[in-house]
Structure formats: C-alpha cells, structure tokens
Amino acid sequence: MRAAGRTVRARLRDRIAASDPGLLRLTAGLRTVGAIALTLLVLSLLRADVHILVAGAMAAMVATFAIREKQPAAQAVTLALGLPVALASVSLGAVLNTRLFVGDVFFVVLIFCAVYGRRFGDRGTALGLIGFQVYFLSLFVGATASTLPALCGALAVAFCSSALMRFAVVPATPTGVLLRLRLAFRARLAQLVAAQVELLDAPADEMDKALEAVREGTARLHETAMMIQGRLEEGTPDESAARLVQRRIADAEIAAERLGLLLLTARTAERADTLTLHLPGAPAPSLAGPELPDEAGATLRRDLQALHALVLRAGSGDTGTGLAHVRNRLLGYRDEENLPPASAAVQDVFRGIGESARAVLGLRIALDGPQDESDDSPATARSREELDAEDAAIDGGEGAEQEEQTGLRRPTTRAAVQVAVGSSLAIVGGELLSTQRWYWAVLTCWIVFLNTASTGEILVKGYRRLLGTVFGVVAGIVLAGLVGGHTWTAFALVLVLIFAMFYTAPLSYTLMSFFVTAMLGLLYTLLHTYSLDVLVLRIQETALGAACGVVAAALVLPVQTDRRTNELLGTVLERLAEVTEAAVGQLSGGPADELLDKARDLDQALADLRAATQPLIHPVTPLRTRRHTARYVVALLETCAYHARTLAATAELLPTHPSIAADPRLRGAAGRTVRNIGVIAARVADEHAGAQVETGPSIASLLGSDAGTPRYGRITDRVLRHLERLDEAVVGLARPLGVPVAAPKG
C-alpha cells in the first residue's frame, strides 16, 4: 500500500514538474497572491478603507512581479530601491493628477525613462516598471494630497509583505530552481519516450497524431534544456560543474531527438530528416510506412518501455538489480554483436536506444553523483569509463562579446521614443473618450511594447490583448453581479484571478489579459465605480491604446517585421556556419572549441527567429504564401540545427571517447555547405547579391569514402550522414528565400 502511494505521489510530482518546469509559474503565482493576501490582512487590521486596500493589493502585485534577478541578494537590493521609487511616484501622482497638462507631460517623461531603463538590465527594468505601475495606481485609486500618507503606508506594507513572501515563505534560490528544472527535464524526457512508444505502436490511420505527440514532446524537452542553460551559471557551484551538467543535458536531448527520428524512419516509407519541431502541421515525411515485423516490434516495444522506466527511476535513488539488468541490456546495444537480427532501419533504432541509455546514465551520474557499479556488465563498464574520461576533460571557456549598438539604433532607446510617442497619442485620444479613465489607453500602449521588437509583434500582441479584454469584460460583468457588495468575497476572487493570471502568462497572453480584465471588474465593484459603461469604456481604451502603439511603432523609428526576421535569419545562418565549421574542424583533428556553447547560441538565435515570425504565421495573417514560406524556412532551419547540434556533440566526444578518433579526410568536408550558408546569408542581407548556391557530388564521394567500411565501423560514417543531410537542407533553403542554385558541374 505504501509503495503504491509513493508511486502515485511520484507520478503526480513528475506531471507537475513537466507541466511547469522549475515550478516557476507556480512560484510566481503563490508569491504574488501571498503578498497581496498578507497586505490586505495587515491593512484590514489597521482599518484602512477600501481605496487603500485596493492600492495596497496592486502595489504588492507590482513589487512581486517586477523583480527579475535570479540571486536573492540582488533581488533584495532591487526591492529596497523599489520602495523609494514607488513612494516618489505615488507622491508625484497625487500632486499632478489634477494638473492636466503638467501631469500628462510628466507621465510621458516617466514612461520614456521607464523603458529606457531596460538598458541597465533587470534592475533598471524593475525600477522602471515599479515607477510606471505605481503612478498608474495613483490614477486608478484617485490619489490626492490628503490620502497620500495612507497610500505611502500601504506601499510600505505591500513591499514588506512582498519581501516576506519572497525570502521567507516562498523562497527560490538559483540552486533550488535549477534542481527543479532538472527534475522537469527528466519528467519531460520520460514523457517523450512514452510518446515514442506510442509512435511505434500507432496504426497507420493514427500515425499523424502519434507523430504530433513526439514533435511536441521533443519541443518541450528542448525548451527545458534551454531553461536549464539559462540558469547554470547561478545555480552551480563552479564553471566545471555547470559545463558538466550542460554536456549531459545536451547528450540526453540529442539522443532522445535522434531516437525519435530513427523510429520515424523505421515506421515510414522514406528517410526522416527532422521532426519539424515547434511547427505543428509543417511538412512531414509520408506516414504510409510498412508495419514492423512482430518479433522486432515486440522487442523494440519492450526495450523502449525499459528505457522509459530507466528514465523515471533515474532520479528516484533506486539502485536495485532490476534497474541494473535493464541498464546493462540497453547499453549492450552499443556493441554490434548484441543487436537483434532485423532490417538496417530497425537495428538503427536499437542503436539509438543504446545511445539514449548511455545519455541517461551520464545524466544520472552528473546530477546524482557516483552510482553502485557492482552489477555492471562489460558494456556498462565501458560506458562509465567513457563518461568518466569526458567528465575529467571538461573545462570552462569564455564567450565572445557582442557588439553593442548605440544611439537610436539601441533597442531600448528606440523603444523608449516609440512608447513616449504612442503614449502621447493615447493620452490625447483617451481623454477624448474619458477624462477620468484615459490612463487605460496609456497602459495598453505601454504593455504592447513589452518584450516586442517589431511592428508585426506589436500588432499581434495588441490583437491578443484586445481579444482577452473583450472576453474579460463579459466575465467581469458576471462576477460583479455574483459578488455584489460582498467585499471580502470579491477580494478572494481577485486573488484567484491574479494567481490564474500569473500561472497562464507564459502560456497565453490572451488568457492573461482575460484574467486581468475580469479582476479589474471586481476592483471597480470594490471601489463602487462599476457599471456596464465602465467596462465597455475599458474595451474602447484598450483598442485605442493598442492602435496608438501600432501607429507609433510603424511611424517612429520603425522596425518592420520583414527587416527584423531577416536580421535574425542572418544571425541564425551565421551561428549555423560557426557550429558546422568548428565541429567538422575538430572532427578532422583541429583544435578544440567551445562547441556546446556555440550550439546553444544557435538554438537561442533560432528561438528568437521563431518568436519574430509569429506575426507572419499567425492565423489572421492574410498573406498565406508568406505564412507558408515562413513556416517552411523555420522547419528547414530546425533540420539544420539538429544536424549541427549532433555534429557538435560528436566532436565533443573526441578527446575522451576510445572508439572515436579524428579523421583527417573530413578536413574541408563542410566547405561547400558553409559557403552555401554564407551565400544565403548574403542574399538575405542584400537581395541584389549575385552569388549562387552550389550543388554537386555527395560529400561522401568527395572524401573518397571506402565502400568496404562497416556501416558503423567508424564515426566518420555517422558524421558524413549528418553532413549530407545538412548540405541538402541548406540547399533546400535557397528556393523559398529566392537564392539562385547553380547547376551541378558535369
């Protein structure tokens, strides 16, 4: 009974960890709700009126979500600096809100300074956000000089409550967050293996659904790996430990992705080069593949389920003989003589299972320390020796510095000017709609500029906010009718909506806007200013603010979506060329390089490009051809990134892996591919560039590969396959990007 209870708890823990990596959304929601509840409790004991209660609740929310630093000491400093900024902002708001022209001018100046402050990092961003939001708070509650002392006291209580929740009740150290992210990585890895089992068993008419689950699982695993990458520096004791975790996470991610591709190849009628990650509905291989033989399918199913169990039990501390037996069997597939008799494609899957088991073993050693080796088979012992040699060879390196833009080219300066102009328009238009609640238009204009970098992104964000606001107004009407004059019931519902707002914010901006607007309906009820006209005005002001933001972005120092995506595409191509050239250079015997760092830089550049293309692939986009082109280009870049990551991971093994040796024949093998990447990048930067993409004989034939070489006798054969597919994908990029392709030389 106890064992069953532990199993249920473990499954529940894994589900929660996988759905919210690092528990970051849960932590944010609990901190904010806790800070607001504590503030309301203290202020109610002090017999504050409802206006002060609302102000305190809003201030507690701002003081909690504005802080972005990862280290607790830095958070404490920013929170301490935020209180005087908040007090100054609310004081100026109380004095200036009755002076129409002077107050409006100051508000615009404050907005400019708040956005410009982003150039100073997380602290500058937080202080600017606190200054703006607290000034908005003063307008919302109608602050006056007579109510200023009570408002300042409420702000002090709110900041103290936020500090108590952050540092005592719901603490989150970088080490603890990284530990939870590791658990999430394991849980998502297990979910991906489970999806791969479903792909193996799926009948032909359900293959597309099973493939979609594998795609989604691979994307979620990659997302978690990137989150871990962003917190390694703060969450590990030294650089060597950080690089060790980085290496093992990368190994596990690449092995799992490769296993999915091998399974797809075994189940389909054609070679699978990519799962087209993150792009549901993007081009995929034909799914009309042959059924696997019963015996081979049964063995594969057994071993995939065993791999799934191995992943799940890797973090449980289970070191029993059953686990050792499973691990030994799966690692044995890394030796050719242990492969079951089957077709070449099916044997590739067994090899992929063996490599995945090795990655899981390395992940467990890196995260949990040395393990019991008494039941190791010879294959497992060899894998441990390889991992130990790799661990000993890991050393830190310095990253390259990026050139900083200056003047109006600096994104923060440009955004500050744009927001100031848009806010000025919003103030004028907002006051024409309502002389009392014009600030809603300014708030929307401010928000649509947050975390956006092009006119298209601002347009999409404004649309999503307006959509969420419309539905939120309907919910606000219903909730206001239910709670009526029940003050504490309304506050309880406000807390629920705020938690939902923070928990859904990273998932859906429309949902977040919905919960914000529904919450505001309750706040208006508490302030006794609720009416249907007020909520309709909220929609009008939101639409106006979004329109002002789009107009400012389009007319003032504009960054067109095409220009933005072209710049990011150029960066992706540059990173792709760097990773490919460095990996092949090291595989051919050249000097060691920081390949994993370069590969992660490529991943980050691709993630930025993917985000920037959202306006192009949004369902409301009328230009279908451009939408399909954008999706197709990103899908091909996903293919390129996968092969480049695999080449980098293989090259990283060279110094320590006993069965992998540098092959001088590979020197220059990626020359044509790298040149083609450069040609495409030049054409993206300048549409008049005249160079052509080259095609010709296969890379393997150019190297004079021996026909008698065993299929997996040398690592060169695997490298050549990835280089071939990378070369094909790069040539494939030429057509949608309008780059001419030279005819093959006879």
Task: Quick: pLDDT tens for 155-169.
Answer: 999 999 999 999 999
519-558 pLDDT tens trace: 888 888 887 776 778 878 888 999 999 999 888 888 887 7
How much of the chain is in helix, strand and coil states, percent to nearest 5? 75, 0, 25
Distance of alpha carbon 583 from alpha carbon 594, whole angstroms: 9
Judge residue 61's burial from the number of C-beta atoms within 10 Å of its C-beta, 0-12 exposed, 13-18 middle, 19 or more buried. buried
Torsion angle (degrees, nearest 10) of CA 138, 141, 145, 150: -100
Bin 451: left if φ > 0, else alpha if -120 < ψ < 50, else beta. Answer: left
DSSP 166-189: IIIIS---HHHHHHHHHHHHHHHH
Please work out, in degrees rounded to the nearest 5, the angle formed at the alpha carbon of residue 56 by the alpha carbons of 50 and 59. 145
Q: What is the reported pLDDT for 408?
A: 61
- Residue spans of alpha helices (H) in 369-410: 378-393
Quote the mean pLDDT of the chain.
83
With 70 as the cut, is the pLDDT of residue 321 above it?
Answer: no
pLDDT for res 335: 81
Compute the distance between CA of residue 435 and CA of residue 442 in angstroms, rounded to an integer. Answer: 13
Q: What is the rounded average pLDDT of the residues 34-58? A: 94
Q: Using CA atoms, how far apart are residues 50 and 43, in angstroms rounded to an integer?
A: 10
Taking alpha carbons only, the member of 195, 171, 189 closest to residue 71 is 171
Alpha carbons within 13 angstroms on the beta-carbon side of residue 179 total 8
Q: What pLDDT does 713 receive? A: 41
Q: Is the pLDDT of residue 404 over 60?
A: no
DSSP 67-123: ---SSHHHHHHHHHHHHHHHHHHHHHHHHHTT-HHHHHHHHHHHHHHHHHGGGGHHH
Are the beta carbons of 609 and 572 closer than 8 angstroms?
yes
> What is the C-alpha separation between 568 and 616, in angstroms, rounded?
14
Residue 475 tokens, joined: 């919910």
Query: Can you give the pLDDT at residue 106?
Result: 93
The Cα–Cα gap between 412 and 401 comes to 19
Shortest CA distance to 460 belongs to which of 577, 561, 392, 337? 561
d(CA 342, CA 336): 12
- In the numeric block, the tokens 């928990």 are attached to 503
Give the pLDDT confidence of 571-624 residue by residue, as tens digits.
999 999 999 999 988 888 887 778 888 888 999 999 889 888 888 777 666 666
Amino acid of residue 31: R
- Rounded to an integer, the average pLDDT of 317-339 is 77
Residue 439 has pLDDT above 80, yes or no: yes
pLDDT (0 to 100) of residue 709 = 42
| Segment 40-49, tens digit of pLDDT | 999 999 999 9
Q: What is the spatial distance between Cα 635 and Cα 190, in angstroms, rounded to a whole number?
A: 25
Question: Terminus-to-terminus CA distance in the chain, angstroms?
Answer: 74
Contacts of 85 by beta carbon, 8 Å cutoff, 6+ apart: 127, 130, 131, 134
Query: For residue 494, what are its two tokens?
Result: 């406000």
Question: Looking at residue 559, what is its pLDDT?
Answer: 76
pLDDT of residue 297: 78
Q: How confident is the model at residue 266, as a pLDDT? A: 83
pLDDT of residue 712: 34
Q: Which two tokens stand for residue 563?
A: 């220009």
If you search the block for the tokens 């593949």, which residue do you land on? 289
Which tokens hold the place of 637?
């870049």
Query: DSSP secondary-structure letter at 398?
Result: P
For the record, the structure tokens of 698 come out as 């296969």
CB under 8 Å to 508, separation ≥6 — which residues? Answer: none
What is the b/e burial string over 292-322, where b = at least 16 CB atoms within 10 angstroms of the residue's CB?
beeebbebbeebbebbbbbbbbbbeeeeeee
Strand partners, 406: none
Confidence at 195, pLDDT banded by 50, 70, 90: very high
pTM: 0.83
Judge contact between 10 and 136, C-beta under 8 A.
no
Cα 233 from chain centre? 18
